[in-house]
Amino acid sequence: TFSSATSVENAPSPTASPQATKPAGKGKFYSVILVDKATSSIELAKLVDGEYVTLKKLHATLGKVKGDKQEEGDLKTPEGIYTFTELKKGSGLPPKYGAMAFTTNYPNNYDQIAGRTGHGIWLHATNEPARLNEDYDSEGCVVCKNDEIAELAPSIRLGLTPILIFPHLTDEYRKPGKDPSIRTFFDSWIHAWETRNIDEYIDHYHSDFSAQGKDRDAWKTYKSQLNSRYAEISIGPEDILYYRHPKYWMITFTQNYRSKLKGGAWGHRSRGTKILYVAEEAGKPKIIAETYTQLMW
């Protein structure tokens, strides 16, 4: 959900140009966890210049029932793109989870719109090593050895590092940032937002869109009201990252929001992490959900 923006004076002048976007710096890398259910494997990879480079590959034990998780208690491992929300270890962690566990945000915004239920999907270790001889012996979690999760832990940033769980990880999903169509879609969305073109802007949204308690029509009304108030809007996206899954895309970036009132005064500013879930509708990419987390200045 969106955090409220804070007032600002003497802020730099906003611009309204798609050239303001700043993709992830060339040569920089971002950690990612890839899970292939077809091979019962976990990969620690880095996303470099739009493609994954595998650093380590491990065996994974997955849900006892094959297929994509749909509801509470079905013993299936969900398929999609998730982020880690908490690290659990020490005396507060039940022994069955081994040395440590990372909780995930399943069901994410996309899952909630799709009506999927359940909770407690974790990446964790186990105090029963024999379980790891099986490919499918969890209640829906992704399980590996104690020493292996300890190797993964330093690469995981809560709220930022994604875990992508695939029914089968094929080569077409290994270069998400190289797809020009999704990059064009993102740039055109930013441009429509910054130029306050409400019809072009809302055309980027899915008919099933939901965020901040608003559907697509309510979102259009909300954004129209802001457009009528502001003379200028600048988004200033930085570190744009693209992740592709058979179900949807996830785009993350740092949003540097600036607005200027029609009377000439500065409106609001905020800096935070925006996540877009982009699903196909009528053969075109559309934003079906989005979240925003405020960063400290």
| Alpha carbons 287 and 77: distance in angstroms, whole number | 25
Q: What is the pLDDT of residue 29?
A: 59
Q: How many CB atoms lie within 10 A of CB 259?
A: 22
Number of C-beta neighbours around residue 3 at 10 A: 11
| Tokens 């802020």 belong to residue | 11
Give the pLDDT of residue 1. 24
Q: Six-digit token pair at 162?
A: 């994604």
Residue 295: its pLDDT value, please?
A: 85
pLDDT at position 14:
34
Q: What's the length of the chain?
A: 297
CA dist 68 and 214 (Å) reads 27
Alpha carbons 207 and 145: distance in angstroms, whole number:
43
pLDDT of residue 84: 97
Along the 297 residues of the chain, how does pLDDT read in single tens digits?
A: 223 232 222 233 333 333 344 545 554 558 999 999 999 999 999 999 999 999 999 999 999 999 999 999 999 999 999 999 999 999 989 999 999 999 999 999 999 999 999 999 999 999 999 999 999 999 999 999 999 999 999 999 999 999 999 999 999 999 999 999 999 999 999 999 999 999 999 999 999 999 999 999 999 999 999 999 999 999 999 999 999 999 999 999 999 999 999 888 999 899 999 999 999 999 999 999 999 999 865
Contact 242, 24 (CB under 8 A): no
What's the pLDDT score for residue 115?
97
Coil, strand or helix at 213: coil
Within the chain, strands assigned E span 6-7, 22-23, 29-36, 41-48, 51-59, 62-63, 80-89, 100-104, 122-124, 136-138, 142-143, 162-166, 210-211, 214-215, 230-234, 238-244, 249-261, 266-281, 284-294
User: Is the Cβ–Cβ distance between 286 and 246 less than 8 Å?
Assistant: no
